[in-house]
Structure 1
């Protein structure tokens, strides 16, 4: 009698590889529930900096309001944001009413990721990322919300060496220095992103995006040798190239935060 044939080996290789890590995404903290005004403000941002904001993923954060809006109003806002040129993809974590609203809208709830942009007036702003972040990796197109009662920023560990990036950061790549400074010895290309919980030092040309103080450290700074940045931000306060005086383009500059206002000046 012939021996039974061996069972075929099962292929456990997944069809898709799922990874959880650093996500560049904007957080729109709604401070005044005026759908038309919010959509108009967003359309203006997209018009001024289309490479950064056009079709950018956005978390909508209703945590700054006294009450969670009803589903009809929330849908009108989502439609207005889409018409303005961005893509609302989730609601930010909040109250139980907010969770019910997300279910009704068919959207997920997400924590406030570190993202890139604005600090006031219902604008998307940089926010702390609760998940651990990976080393340099390719990242999708972006790009951030200061809460009313934010947790104290995570201090950069004393004596911890900064992260040194010796090769160019190319378009679509992201480098993140977790709880330390970041030093880039070469260039940051257009469409690339460098982020640090401490300060960012760039010894070449900055053409992409640089974000310092990503966990809320308002004393962090950005230094670069040749400034052509798409965007710079410190602790969620940002400026895009269109907002920066032309006489600073191509110069060696430093960027710092003073009374919640982003300052940029040429280095002597």
Structure 2
């Protein structure tokens, strides 16, 4: 067997959709960072324990020296999370990442970061009709992109569905450990037991509509709520989720 075939048989390298959380460091205080992240992990271990995170140092000016950054990385690990990369592709960040032995995700944009073109302010809140029993035509995408992406049937545990620059309509159940993500709105005409994240590129006007609410997490434009136990008044009910300022609100339909 020649070398070319040996390499081809040794592995299969492909790119795919990967959900990553971001830790944006506001001040270079490793002890405070570890304490805050430990609190998050304790509150929702299924969601945050050993989760892969991208370290965002963009608010630190100037970027701290290698010793401070190494302490911040160790704080994240000590809290129970796994730093796998640095965000942003400036030459300074790239040099730092190389010294730290980490890659740089140059075009990574966490949901809390607005898109390059600011989205228009959210329209006044209006009464929303209850969800119908069967799928209907989706609302226009919050991003102004093409029509909605449809997913027929269930989303299995470990599976991720991402509607880029459009709304997402799911007609089946979303299992624990599954994720549905959209740059626009999300409409779920089944049970949500996993995670739903709308406005993934920072669109604060995005909403999530769910027929049967049993979620692990819901998020809009980076603002999220985690549920170890669903409030009794919401469990199994049809709900909508939206943002008011930086607060994510959920109410029955």
Give the TM-score category using the shorter length.
Answer: 0.7 to 0.9
**Residue in 2 that maps onto 1:134:** none
**Residue in 2 that maps onto 1:170:** 156
**Residue in 1 that maps onto 2:93:** 98
In structure 2, relative to structure 1, the CA distance for the partners of 1:13 and 1:67 (3 Å cut) is same
**Residue in 2 that maps onto 1:187:** 173
1:56 to 28, 45, 51: 51
Q: Which has the higher contact order (CA 8 A, sep 6+)?
A: 1
**Residue in 2 that maps onto 1:219:** 205
CA distance in 1, matches of 2:107, 2:23: 10
CA distance in 2, matches of 1:19, 1:9: 20
Deviations 1:148-169 (A, max 9, x none): x7512686345x3311111100
Deviations 1:27-81 (A, max 9, x none): 1111122111111111111111111111011111110112101111111111111
**Residue in 2 that maps onto 1:67:** 62
Secondary structure of 2:249's match?
strand
TM-score of the superposition, structure 2-length normalised?
A: 0.83
Secondary structure of 1:72's match?
helix
**Residue in 2 that maps onto 1:146:** 112
**Residue in 1 that maps onto 2:122:** none
Q: CA RMSD in A?
A: 2.3
**Residue in 1 that maps onto 2:15:** 20
In structure 2, relative to structure 1, the CA distance for the partners of 1:8 and 1:176 (3 Å cut) is closer
**Residue in 2 that maps onto 1:89:** 84
TM-score of the superposition, structure 1-length normalised?
A: 0.79
| Contact 2:214-2:230 at 8 Å conserved across structures | no
CA shift, 1:259, in A, is 1.0
Q: Which 4+ stretches in 1 moved above 6 angstroms?
A: 7-10
